Each structure stands twice: as structure tokens, then as C-alpha cells.
Amino acid sequence: MTRLVLEGLRRTYGPTVAVDRVDLEVAQGELVALLGPSGCGKTTTLRMVAGFVAPTAGRILIGGKDVTSAPPYGRDTGMVFQGYALFPHMTVAENVGFGLEMRRVGRAERDTRIAEALRLVRLDGYGERRITQMSGGQQQRVALARALVVNPGVFLLDEPLSNLDARLRAEVRVEIRALQQRLGLTTLFVTHDQEEALTMADRMVVMDHGRVRQIGPPEELYERPADLFVAGFLGRCNTFRGRVESPGTFRAGAIALPCDGGTPGITSAMVVRPERVAIDRTTGRLPGRIAMVTYLGGLTDWHVQTDAGTVLVTRPTPTDGDALRHLAPGDPVHLDWSPAAGRLLPDENPTDPTTGVSA
Ligand SMILES: Nc1ncnc2c1ncn2[C@@H]1O[C@H](COP(=O)(O)OP(=O)(O)OP(=O)(O)O)[C@@H](O)[C@H]1O
Ligand SMILES: [Mg+2]
């Protein structure tokens, strides 16, 4: 049932290694999100799959067929480009029909399929409009229709929501996911937005400097990141540096903190998600003082100064009568977490003594 296979995919530009030995399998109907910071090789990976960039090494298989050197129109892929890349001088219908024309689909069938694709993205009746007469969100739908109209075996999207405002983005996110599931489309979705990836993907691939750091379902990457890069890239975390004193106890300087198991003596890093930290006025293993309070509506962030560095705590905003309701800078508090919340990771930069919050 594997639809798309990337084997040892690599692309260099002179001395720049844009993509480095990427192995990935996407199952039929699965949505895999490629996530990573700017320049990590997401677009290059997608363009290699679509056939717009030739790999320096490696193979691409679609539906069991090696398409590594096939032209874009011989690959059974539909792509939504970063920034859409619509043709501004053409009408909506001409844009959507472009791939069909390239595939030499006859006029009558083309018109039927264009109308179908426009209906799919809820733009029926807009066919004769010029691209310049469409809003950003509508253009985004035209780009989706243009990719979908060819009934692609593999659907490729490169940051398709980045030009939309936050509200529309959240809406279209749900629409794309529903459409993808309804049509059972095998999809590779590029984004640098972790929330987008967490909410939409069956599995995620976190990339850094052309390489895959970790592949897995969203919960796994968030709860059990393989390294500090993945932990820090997906959501916020508190990072402590030190060593395991005994299984379940991590020593950061003079401070003993709960951790998830561990082998005594090993120097490592420990990460704790801010929502896993308990905060209380009187009890808890790690004493500190409030440095800053940030009200986020339903949630509140407390930055707490401790002997193990500044610790970020995120909890539902306390209601009236709750002892935490009026915590203010300078107030003493106690922090704690269950051992399972203190995840031990290899310390990639053991000479860096910093301990604290990364956002
Ligand atoms: N045509 C090119 N010539 C030279 N270098 C390139 C070319 N295309 C990409 N690169 C380089 O390859 C690396 C990966 O680029 P890529 O566009 O794949 O990143 P990305 O992850 O999509 O980033 P972003 O999130 O900013 O879109 C970057 O260092 C980039 O400068
Ligand atoms: Mg890109």
C-alpha cells in the first residue's frame, strides 16, 4: 500500500547540501507533513518528487514505479507551489486546466473536470474571473483545484496556507484535511508551522539542514522527541543540563529534579514541557520566584526564576478563588513534575552551560 518512496534522496547546489540522504515512505491515503526551519530542504525535497529538480543521488518511486528521471507531467503528481505560482494573465479556469492541457486531455473532458475541481474547492462559477480579481484565500483554492484536477496519485503541497490570515488558515486547514481524507489522497505537505503539522498530519518528518531528524505520528514527536532539536522545534520546552544521579533523579548543579529513569553518571539534557509543570504556593520540589506572568486568555504562562534557571509553566488560567489567581512577580512558588514528564535526551552541546526555556 506504499504509494510514495524516497530512497537516499540527495541534492547539492555547489557546496550547499540542500537535501541529504532522505528516506521516506508515504502510504496510500496518508498525509505526511515535512516540517523544519527555513532553508532545511523542504521545498527541494518536494520539487524532486514533482520532477522540477533532479536529485544528485537517490531514487523516487510512485506506485512502485521508478520515476526518478521522469518529467513532471509523467509522474502522477499534483503540486501546490509555495506562493501558489498561478498565472496572473490567465482566468481561473485556464489556470485550473493547465495540467490537463499539458497532458493533452480533450476540450470537453477538460471543461467537465475543471468544473468538478472548482466545485471541490467551492469556487463554482468563478471560472471566467482573472486571478487578479480573486482574494488571497480564493487564489489559494484555485491553486488547490489546479493540483487536484489531474487526479494525482501523489498530492504535493508547499506551504499552501502561508499567505492566509490566521483565521482563514485555520479554516482552510480543516478543509484541506477533509478533502484529502475524502479523496484518499496520498499527500506530502510542507510547512514550517508546527501547529499546522501537528493538527493535520498522520505522520510528521522533522528536517534540519537537509537531514531527517525524526519521523513519526504527531503525539510521538511531541511526547517522545528523539533529540533537543525536535523537542525545541515542536512546541515549547524547558531544558536542563546536568547528569543522572540515580534512576528518576536528575542533577542540574545543586538541584535534584525528577526525570524519567536514566542511567546514573550519564551527562545529558532533560526537557520538560511547560504544561507538565505543576505550580503551587507552598509545595513542590523546586522552589522559585515568579519573574513574569503572561495572560493568554484560556491559558497563563508563568516564568519562574529557580536555582536551575528560568522555568516556564503553562496552565489553564486560574479562576476566582484559586490560590494562583493573583500570582505576581516576586511571589514565592514551588514547581514540580512527575518523573515521566522529565524526558532525558542526548546533550548535543555539552559545553553550553545554559539551562532554561526555549520557545
Ligand atoms: N536553485 C538553487 N540554487 C542554489 N541553492 C539553492 C537552490 N534552491 C535551494 N537552494 C538552497 O538549498 C537549501 C534548501 O532550500 P529549500 O528551498 O529546500 O528550503 P526550505 O526548507 O523550503 O525553506 P523555506 O521554509 O524558507 O521555504 C537552502 O540553503 C537554499 O539556499
Ligand atoms: Mg520552501
**pLDDT truncated to tens, each residue of the chain (359 aa)?**
669 999 999 999 999 999 999 999 999 999 999 999 999 999 999 999 999 999 999 999 999 999 999 998 889 999 988 777 899 899 999 999 998 988 889 999 999 999 999 988 889 999 999 999 998 888 988 998 999 898 899 999 999 888 777 887 888 888 889 889 988 999 999 998 888 999 899 999 999 999 999 999 999 999 999 999 999 999 899 999 999 999 999 999 889 999 998 888 877 899 999 999 999 999 999 999 999 999 999 999 999 999 999 999 999 999 988 989 889 999 999 999 999 999 999 887 655 444 555 54
d(CA 310, CA 203) in angstroms, rounded, equals 32
Query: Which protein residue has the closest C-alpha to ligand 1 atom 10?
Result: 18
Q: Which among 350, 353, 345, 355 is positioned nearest to 229, based on CA atoms? A: 345
Query: Which protein residue has the closest C-alpha to ligand 1 atom 1?
Result: 13
pLDDT for position 353 = 46
Residue 39 alpha carbon to ligand 1 centre in Å = 5
d(CA 181, CA 159) in angstroms, rounded, equals 19
pLDDT for position 359 = 46
Q: How many residues does the chain have?
A: 359
Query: Which protein residue has the closest C-alpha to ligand 1 atom 24?
Result: 38
Q: What number does the ligand 1 atom closest to the CA of 159 have?
A: 27
Q: Is residue 44 lining ligand 1, measured as CB closer than 6 Å?
A: yes
Residue 65 alpha carbon to ligand 2 centre in Å = 26
Specify the fold of 2-223: Rossmann fold (3.40.50)
Q: Is residue 42 lining ligand 1, measured as CB closer than 6 Å?
A: yes
Q: Is residue 13 lining ligand 1, measured as CB closer than 6 Å?
A: yes
Q: What number does the ligand 1 atom closest to the CA of 40 have?
A: 21
Q: Is residue 132 lining ligand 1, measured as CB closer than 6 Å?
A: no
> In this structure, what is the dihedral angle of CA atoms 228, 42, 9, 207, given to the nearest 10 degrees?
0
Helix/strand/coil for 198: helix
Residue 51 alpha carbon to ligand 1 centre in Å = 16
Q: Which among 284, 302, 285 is positioned nearest to 293, based on CA atoms? A: 302
Residue extents of the structural domains in the chain: 2-223, 237-358
Residue 81 alpha carbon to ligand 2 centre in Å = 9
Cβ count near 330 (within 10 Å): 9
Among left, alpha and beta (phi > 0; psi -120 to 50; other), residue 168 is: alpha
Q: Which among 319, 316, 307, 222 is positioned nearest to 271, based on CA atoms? A: 222
Q: Is residue 192 lining ligand 1, measured as CB closer than 6 Å?
A: yes
pLDDT for position 1 = 60
Q: Is residue 51 lining ligand 1, measured as CB closer than 6 Å?
A: no
Residue 47 alpha carbon to ligand 1 centre in Å = 11
Pocket test for ligand 1, best of 20, 35, 43, 161 (most atoms within 8 A of CB): 43
d(CA 161, CA 156) in angstroms, rounded, equals 13
Specify the fold of 237-358: OB fold (Dihydrolipoamide Acetyltransferase, E2P) (2.40.50)
pLDDT for position 289 = 98
Read off the C-alpha cell for 351.
559545553
Residue 39 alpha carbon to ligand 2 centre in Å = 7
Cβ-contact 336, 295 below 8 angstroms: no
Q: Is residue 209 lining ligand 1, measured as CB closer than 6 Å?
A: no
d(CA 48, CA 68) in angstroms, rounded, equals 8
Q: Which among 63, 152, 134 is positioned nearest to 92, based on CA atoms? A: 134
